Amino acid sequence: MVKPMSRRVFLKAAGLAAAVALLPVRARAAQGKPRNIILIYADDLGYGDLGCYGATQVATPHIDRIAREGVRFVNAHSTSATCTPSRYALLTGEYPWRRQGTGILPGDARLIIEPGRTTLPALLQRAGYQTGVVGKWHLGLGAGHLDWNQDIAPGPLDIGFDYCFLIPATGDRVPCVYVEDRRVVGLDPQDPIQVSYTKPIGTDPTGRDHPELLKMHPSHGHDQTIVNGISRIGYMTGGQAARWVDEDIADTITRKATAFIEKYRAEPFFLYFSTHDIHVPRVPHPRFAGKSGLGPRGDVIVQLDEAVGTLLATLDRLGLAEDTLLIFSSDNGPVVDDGYRDRAVELLDGHRPAGPLRGGKYSAFDAGTRVPWIVRWPGQVRPGVSGALVSQVDLAASLAALTDQKLAADDIPDSLDVLGALLGRTDRGRDHLVEHAGVLSLIQGDWKYIEPGQGPRMNVNTNIELGNVPQPQLYHLRDDLGEKTNLAAEHPQRVREMAARLRDIRQQGRTRPGPR
């Protein structure tokens, strides 16, 4: 557990401390602002997938370095067990299950965050940071019926980002092109793009009809338009010159991320670097193929780690590391077979993507949302391990506090200021947390309650236990981290209380204390 941090910035010299203590609160907070903030957000990376979280078969030296130099959280959560809702919460500070339409989006979905809303990037923009997002988006683009050949709006530039370079949805969904600011990159106007999620479009072969053209075959779903020898979810036609090459995605987005850092090296910046790794399709660059011994899933973990290393080296080279608050996390828990026959299951070889946790991506058990989370800010964050309960929904309020931004009553409604915990100064984070998969769960202290659901109990395709059963479940996480023993029958009163609290949280429509 992290020991209370010496408030080093203020207390270094007693005289300085006395002088600082006399400053008004606002000025003091401003003094503690980081020059830069970088959020590295991995995709589908599990609690057990990194060396610093106990993995022994795959080496992640760069991410382990952040852990060594920062605080590593062991009870930190994405809000949801899948991507779109977790990212929605990260950027809006609102639990996604409060809103319809925040589930896994198709690649032609409209933007689900309304322009004008107070978002994490908008708060940081207001605080004077140059804000950029590079990598996976998956929150929709446009206002419906988007024409990919024209200006793409609304998008990230309309909800608080100054710059974007995007994978619009996921690596396994069309359109398989990058979007920079408002345009598809490298698009030939003579070869316009069209996208459909309802019916085949154009004459491109599909994986269903032409499996002989595939270099990677689906195990479930993923049998529509073939791009780069890999069949995807959804149909697209045109845009040949703009199509990405999966093997180069990590290098391309890492280059864009480092270019952003270089460009704004003399100004405060906030970079949201959202990797494609380690989502499917797992197609590493040839220099990583076979490197992990665990097949493509392990290889793309190594590739992810190298991308992080490139960012760290860029910060070191530019002399920015000391002044940069760096946060590393993942959008949801791990999955081994997520729809392509990449031999991830066969080659697992004892590696445990979820570590000691039960479930995985899609699951109400803790592996769904308890994710790696590391915070580094040299000189400010004392290295250690923290058991504080924190959620990604809290980043907005915490970074608003850090950068001294005022919030209106209705802003970021579920986001709590857990800055002290994030900076390793206290072990107290939230006192409770709602986890979201098919059903909701409530964590309160050492206890976790999973509400009854209509199933299915298992996701047969991914072979993941979803924890969605008709009976209430109650686990004592401190004694039973693996959620093996359902104690609901032994503690009916606690079950009733936690169910009632969950009902209240739903009904109140917010977590952050309101006005008055």
- CB-based contact 317:30 (threshold 8 Å): no
Cα 156-162-166 angle, rounded to 5 deg:
45
Please, which of residues 8-47 interact with ligand NG6 by CB under 6 A? 43-44
CB of 363 to Ca ion, least distance (A): 13
Contact 463, 336 (CB under 8 A): yes
Cβ distance to ligand NG6 smaller for residue 228 or 426: 228
The residue whose Cβ lies closest to Ca ion is 83
What is the per-residue burial (b if ≥16 Cβ within 10 Å, else e) of 366-394? bbbbbbbbbbbbeebbbeeebebbbbbbb
Lateral strand order in the sheet of 432-436: 432-436, 440-444, 447-450, 473-476
Nearer to ligand NG6, 82 or 196 (CB): 82
* Closest to ligand NG6 by CB, 275 or 398: 275
The window from 91-99, 254-262, 286-294, 331-339 that contacts ligand NG6 (CB under 6 A) reads: 331-339
> Judged by CB under 5 A, does residue 172 bind Ca ion?
no
User: Which pairs with CB-CB distance under 8 Å and at least 24 residues apart come from 452-457?
Assistant: 453/364
* Residue (371 or 399) nearer to ligand NG6, CB: 371
Dump the DSSP string for 44-90: S--TTSSGGGT--SS--HHHHHHHHHSEEESSEE-SBSSHHHHHHHH
Q: Which of residues 69-88 bind Ca ion (CB under 5 A)?
A: 83
Q: Kindly tell me which of 172 and 277 has the beta carbon lying closer to ligand NG6.
A: 172
Answer whether 422's CB lies under 8 Å from 392's CB.
no
Q: Does residue number 297 form part of the binding site for ligand NG6 (CB under 6 A)?
A: no
Q: Which is nearer to Ca ion, 305 or 331 (CB)?
A: 331
* Residue 243 binding: pick among Ca ion, ligand NG6, none (C-beta 5-8 Å cut-off by kind): none
Q: How far apart are CA 390 and CA 431, in angstroms?
A: 9
> Count of residues binding Ca ion (CB under 5 A)?
5
Contact by Cβ (8 Å): 435, 466: no
Q: For Ca ion, give the closer residue by CB, 83 or 388.
A: 83
Our finding on whether 371 is near Ca ion (CB under 5 A) is no
Which are the contacts of 115, defined by CB distance < 8 A and separation ≥ 6? 154, 158, 159
| Identified binder of ligand NG6 from the candidate list 305, 338, 435, 465, rule CB under 6 A | 338
The neighbouring-strand residues paired with 442 are 434, 449
In the bound state with Ca ion, the residue whose beta carbon lies nearer, of 359 and 472, is 359
Does the footprint of ligand NG6 cover residue 279 (CB under 6 A)? yes
Q: Which is nearer to ligand NG6, 111 or 123 (CB)?
A: 111
> Could you say whether residue 43 binds Ca ion (CB under 5 A)?
yes
DSSP line for 436-469: ESSSEEEEETTEEEE------SEETTTTEE----
For position 337 contacting ligand NG6 by CB under 6 A, the verdict is no
Of 219, 328, 346, the closest CA to residue 280 belongs to 219
* CA angle, 280 then 119 then 272, to 5°: 40
331 near Ca ion, judged by CB under 5 A: yes
End-to-end CA distance of the chain: 35
**Alpha helix positions (H), 208-275:** 249-263
Q: Which of 481, 483, 463, 465 is nearest to 473 (CA)?
A: 483
Residue 94 near Ca ion by CB under 5 A: no
Contacts of ligand NG6 in 83-122 (CB under 6 A): 83, 104
Neighbours of 339 (CB within 10 A): 18
Question: Binds 220, which of Ca ion, ligand NG6, none (CB < 5 to 8 A, cut-off by type)?
Answer: ligand NG6
* CB of 398 vs ligand NG6, minimal distance in Å: 24
Select from Ca ion, ligand NG6, none the partner in contact with residue 221, using the beta carbon and a kind-dependent cut-off of 5 to 8 Å.
Answer: ligand NG6
Residue 196 pairs with which residues in a beta bridge? Answer: 235
332 vs 363 by CB, closer to ligand NG6: 332
**Nearest distance from residue 318's CB to ligand NG6, in Å?**
32
Interface stretch with ligand NG6, choices 15-23, 176-184, 214-222, 479-487 (CB under 6 A):
214-222
**Nearest-10 crossing angle of helices 395-402, 83-92:** 30
CA-to-CA distance for 489 and 484, rounded, in angstroms?
14
- Contact flag: residue 44 with Ca ion (CB under 5 A): yes
Smallest gap from residue 449 Cβ to ligand NG6 (A): 24
Residue with tokens 């991914």: 462
Q: Is 363 in the site for ligand NG6 (CB under 6 A)?
A: no
Strands 36-42 vs 269-274: parallel, antiparallel or unpaired: parallel
Minimum CB separation of residue 328 from ligand NG6 in Å reads 17
- With CB under 5 to 8 Å by kind, the binding choice for 338 among ligand NG6, Ca ion, none is ligand NG6
Q: Binding of ligand NG6 at residue 170 (CB under 6 A)?
A: yes
Q: Which region among 229-237, 260-268, 329-337, 341-349 touches Ca ion (by CB under 5 A)?
A: 329-337
Token digits of residue 407: 């919030």
Candidates 157-165, 217-225, 320-328, 341-349; binding stretch for ligand NG6 (CB under 6 A): 217-225
Angle at which helices 296-317 and 61-69 pack, to 10 degrees? 50
In angstroms, the CA 120 to CA 434 distance is 20
Contact call for residue 332 and Ca ion (CB under 5 A): yes
Per CB under 5 A, does 511 bind Ca ion? no
Least distance (Å) between residue 464 CB and ligand NG6: 12
Residue number, nearest CB to ligand NG6: 221
Contacts with ligand NG6 by CB under 6 A lie at 43-44, 82-83, 104, 138, 170, 172, 220-222, 233, 279-280, 332, 338-339
Contacts with Ca ion by CB under 5 A lie at 43-44, 83, 331-332
